Amino acid sequence: MKQGEKLRGFRNLEVYQFAFKTAVEIFNITRNFPKEEIYSLTDQIRRSSRSVAANIAEAWGKRMYGAHFISKLTDSYAEANETTTWLEFAKEHKYLTQKQYDYFFENYDHICRMLFNMMRNPNRFLINFK
Give the confidence band of 128 by pLDDT, cuts at 50, 70, 90. confident
Q: Please report, for residues 5, 20, 94, 109, the alpha-carbon distance to residue 90 in angstroms, rounded to integers and kept in the order given.
A: 38, 20, 6, 17
Q: What percentage of residues in the chain have a pLDDT greater than 70?
A: 94
Nearest residue to 119 (alpha-carbon basis) of 57, 54, 75: 75
Which pLDDT belongs to residue 129? 73
The domain defined by 10-124 carries CATH number 3.40.50.1000? no
Q: Which of 119, 126, 12 shows the shortest CA–CA distance to 65?
A: 126
- pLDDT for residue 6 is more than 70: no
Asked whether the beta carbons of 45 and 90 are under 8 A apart, the reply is yes
For residue range 61-91, list pLDDT tens digits in order: 999 999 999 999 999 999 999 999 999 999 9
**What is the DSSP-derived secondary structure letter of residue 10?**
G
Does residue 5 surpass a pLDDT of 70? no
Enumerate the domain spans of the chain. Answer: 10-124
Mean pLDDT of the chain: 94
Confidence of residue 107 (pLDDT cuts 50, 70, 90): very high
